[in-house]
Amino acid sequence: MGITTRKSAVLQSSDFHICLAGNPNVGKSTVFNALTGMKQHTGNWPGKTVENASGRFTCKETGHTFTIVDLPGTYSLLSSSAEEEIARDYICFGGADATVIVADATCLERNLNLCLQILEISRKVVLCVNLLDEAKKKGIEIDLKKLSALLGIPVVGTAARSKKGLKELIAATDAACAAHPPSSAPRVCYGDALESALGLLTPAVAAAAGSASVDPRWISLKLLEGDGALLNTLSAHLGRDIREDAAVAEALAGARAALADSRLATSDDITAHSVLAIVSKSAEIYASVAKTVCPGRAARDRRLDKLFTSKATGIPIMAGLLALILWLTIAGANYPSALLSRALFSLEDTLMALAESVRLNAFVSGLLITGMYRTVAWVVSVMLPPMAIFFPLFTLLEDAGYLPRIAFNMDKFFCSSGAHGKQALTMCMGLGCNACGVVGCRIIDSPRERLIAILTNAFVPCNGRFPTMIAVGSIFLVGVGAGWARSLLSALLLTGLLVLGVAATLLCSRLLSKTVLRGEPSRFALELPPYRRPQIGRVIVRSIFSRTLFVLGRAVTVAAPAGIVIYLLANCHVGGVSLIAACADFLTPFASFFGFDGAILLAFLLAFPANEILLPIIIMIYMSGGSMVDYASLGELRMILSANGWTAITAVCVLIFSLFHFPCGTTVLTIARETKSAKWTLLAVLLPTLAGLALCAVVNNVGLLFLR
C-alpha cells in the first residue's frame, strides 16, 4: 500500500504530520529509525517502484504524536528522476505540518542546496545537521545558531547513530508544527532581471492559486522555467490549470518580455541561472558558518579533482590508469598462472590413476577427467590469477573514490549518445565480468537507458576474454619474448582494444537511442565523494570473496558441462573423422570470408559457456586431439597457429571478434533475467556479434587486397 498525499489519510490519530527529506547517504534513515523505533510501515509510492516508509513517534514534553514520512533521498527538486518527483510533489502537496531536512555536517555546503530549494516552497522547515561526530573527526566546526539566523528556521545538530540531539530535534519539530510560519525570512536572490520578472508574475499567480499551500513566488519561478511536470501536478491539485488564467497568462508574457533583453531569454537559461543562484547562496552561507580546523584535505581534494576531472587531463589519466592496471595484471599473472596450471594438470594424472584403480570405464573416466576436469582446470588456472590481481586493483580505485570521477568524465559522451552517465560505471563493472555489469545496470533509474546499458555491456570485454586477446596480440603484433617491455606493449595493445570497445558502446548506444529505444538522456546528480585512503584489508577481502571467487564459481559452473560436450564431439567419430573436426571443416567456407577458418569459428561457438577455453579448443582441433591441450610457451603456440595458416590478418580478425562477439552463457542468462524478454536478450546477443563479423569482413577483405 502506498502513502497518499492526502493529509487526512495519513494523520490517523496523530496530532501532526511531518516529512523527512535530505540527500542520499546523510543518515536520514538512521534519524528515521531512531525517531520511530519499531513503529514503521514500508511499501511503494503509488505508481512507482521507489520504496517509502512511514512511522510514528511522540514528543514526551507536550504529548503530541507525529506521523513521519521518509521521502526518497534526493539532491534537488528539479524532477529529473522518480525520487526527485516524489519528494517535490510530497513537500508541495502532501499537507505536511513541517518538513525536517537532514543534512550531512561533513559536506553541509552541498546539502544546503536542497534546503534552500525546500525553503522556496515552504517556510515550516527544521534543519537537522547530522553526523556532527564525523565532522568533528574531520576538523569541521559549524555555528548552528548563526546558521539558524541566516536561514530563518530552527537548526538542530545531531549524531543519530548515538542518538545525540534527537530530543532537541523532536522539541524543535513540535514547536515548528505548532507555530505559524515566519512572515518574513531570508530568500534566495536571483538577480535584478529575474527578481523583476518574478515581481510582475507573483501577484497574478497568488490570486489564481488561491489557498494553495505552495509559495506563489516559487510557482512563478517554475512557470518561467517551463516546468511542465510540476505545473500539471499543481493543476491536478487545484482542479484547474493556472496557465489558462487570463491574468497569469498576461503577467507571464510581460515577465518573459522583461527577460528578453537579458541573458535569460529561454526556460533553460532561467533554470540554469536559478540553480547557480542557489549554489552561490549555499556557498555564501557555508563560508560564514563553517570553519575547517584542517583545511588541507579539502584543498587537496580540489587539486586532485582539477587533475582527474579536467577536460585536458581527465580522459588521458583514465586511459593511463587502465593501462597500468592491465600491465600489472598481465605481468603479475603469468607466473602464478603457470604454477597453478602445472599443479592442476599434475593432479589429473592422480585422478586417472585413481579411476584405473577402481576400474572405472575408460570412456567415463575420459569424459569426467579429460573432458570435465581438464576444462575446469584450464578455466581456473587462466582466470584466477588475473582476477586476483585485476579486481583488487579495481577495488582500490573504487575505495579511493576514483570511480565516480570516471562517470563524471564519461557523462558528456554517454549523454551525447542518448544514454545515461551512470552507464560508465556499469561498463567498468563489465571489465571484470559482463554478467556483473548487467546486474549493475539496476543503478540506472530510466528503463530505456537501463536497457541501452544492458544491450551494450558486452561491447567491453570481460576478464575472461583477456587471455586470448593477450596471447594472440603478443604473438603476432607485439612479439614473443619475456620482460617488462613485452608485457607493457601487450597492456597498451589491450588498452587500445578496450578504447575501441568503449567507442563501439557509445556508437551502438547512439544507434539504439535513435531507433528502437528513442528518448532524451535523463539528468542525474552525481556525488563526488572525498578521496580516501583505501583500507587494504577490506579491499582484498571484498575483491577476492565477493568478486573474484563469485565470478570464478559461475564460470566453473558453466565450464564443467561444456567440457563434457566438447569431449564427446572430439571423441565421437563418423567415417574416421571426429565430429568436432567435421564441424570445423563444414564451417570453413563461411568463416574464411571473415578471416577465420572453421576451427576458430567453431571454437568461439563451443566457448559460449566460458570465453577462457577458446584457445585450448582451437589447439585441440588443430592437433586432432581428443581433449583440450595446454601450450608450454607463446613460442610453441605461435608455431602451432602459423602451421595452420594463421597470419597477421587472421590474428587481427580474431582480436576483433574476441572483442565483439556474443556474451558468454552466464551473461546471456543474466540479461534474460534482468530484461524478462527473449526479444531483448536476442538483440543483446546479435548486436556485438554482427558488429564483430562486419568489422572482421572489412579487415580481412581489405587486407587481402593489399597483400595481392
In a domain, residue 303? The reply is no
Angle at 683 between CA 679 and CA 686, to 5 degrees: 140
CB burial readout 192-215, b (16+ within 10 A) else e:
ebbeebbebbbebbbebbeebbbb
Last residue of some domain: 130, 147, 178?
A: 178
Rg of the chain over all Cα atoms, to the nearest angstrom: 31
In a domain, residue 185? The reply is no
Last residue of some domain: 120, 144, 178?
A: 178
Query: Looking at residue 371, what is its pLDDT?
Result: 81
Same domain, 38 and 158: yes
In a domain, residue 183? The reply is no
pLDDT in tens, 649-680: 999 999 999 999 999 888 999 999 999 999 99
**Dist CA 487 CA 332 (whole Å):** 10
The β-bridge relationship of strands 98-104 and 125-130 is parallel
Three cell numbers, residue 248: 497569469
Mean pLDDT of the 458-482 span: 78
Same domain, 371 and 499: yes
Query: Looking at residue 529, what is its pLDDT?
Result: 73
Rounded to the nearest integer, the mean pLDDT of the chain is 83
What share of the chain has pLDDT > 90, as a percent?
24
**Dist CA 225 CA 223 (whole Å):** 5
Query: Looking at residue 8, what is its pLDDT?
Result: 42
Which 3 state secondary structure label does DSSP give 69? strand
Same domain, 493 and 418: yes
In a domain, residue 232? The reply is yes
pLDDT in tens, 212-227: 677 889 889 989 988 8
Could you give the number of structural domains in the chain? 3
295 CB-contact burial (10 Å; exposed 0-12 / middle 13-18 / buried 19+): exposed
**Dist CA 5 CA 95 (whole Å):** 7
Same domain, 216 and 142: no
Same domain, 454 and 556: yes
Query: Looking at residue 570, what is its pLDDT?
Result: 81
**Dist CA 164 CA 252 (whole Å):** 48
295 pLDDT band, cuts 50/70/90, is low
Helix extents (H) in 358-373: 362-365
Bridge partners for 578 per DSSP:
573
Mean pLDDT of the 408-420 span: 85
Which 3 state secondary structure label does DSSP give 293? coil
Same domain, 14 and 153: yes
**Dist CA 564 CA 541 (whole Å):** 33
2 pLDDT band, cuts 50/70/90, is very low
**Dist CA 62 CA 455 (whole Å):** 57
**Dist CA 524 CA 446 (whole Å):** 11
pLDDT in tens, 50-109: 456 788 999 998 889 999 999 888 888 876 666 777 888 888 888 889 999 999 998 899
Q: What is the CATH number of the domain that holds 102?
A: 3.40.50.300
Say if residue 175's pLDDT is above 60. Answer: yes
What share of the chain has pLDDT > 70, as a percent?
89
Same domain, 410 and 325: yes
Mean pLDDT of the 281-302 span: 80
C-beta atoms surrounding 169 within 10 Å: 24
Query: Looking at residue 43, what is its pLDDT?
Result: 46
Say if residue 645's pLDDT is above 60. Answer: yes
Domain of 469 in residue numbering reads as: 314-517+544-707
In a domain, residue 305? The reply is no
Say if residue 479's pLDDT is above 70. Answer: no
**Dist CA 655 CA 658 (whole Å):** 5
In a domain, residue 577? The reply is yes
**Dist CA 686 CA 35 (whole Å):** 53
Same domain, 139 and 209: no
Same domain, 227 and 337: no
pLDDT in tens, 523-557: 666 767 777 777 777 778 777 776 677 767 766 77
Last residue of some domain: 148, 178, 208?
A: 178
In a domain, residue 1? The reply is no
Q: Which residue has the higher pLDDT, 683 or 468?
A: 683
Q: Which residue has the higher pLDDT, 333 or 111?
A: 111
Query: Looking at residue 459, what is its pLDDT?
Result: 92
**Dist CA 129 CA 290 (whole Å):** 12
Same domain, 269 and 348: no
pLDDT in tens, 231-277: 888 888 777 888 888 898 999 899 888 888 777 878 888 888 898 89
Same domain, 143 and 242: no
Query: Looking at residue 467, what is its pLDDT?
Result: 78
Say if residue 360's pLDDT is above 90. Answer: no
Query: Looking at residue 134, what is its pLDDT?
Result: 83
Outline where DSSP puts E strands in 393-511: none
Mean pLDDT of the 399-422 span: 84
Same domain, 241 and 155: no
517 pLDDT band, cuts 50/70/90, is confident
In a domain, residue 536? The reply is no
**Dist CA 152 CA 150 (whole Å):** 6
**Dist CA 310 CA 304 (whole Å):** 10
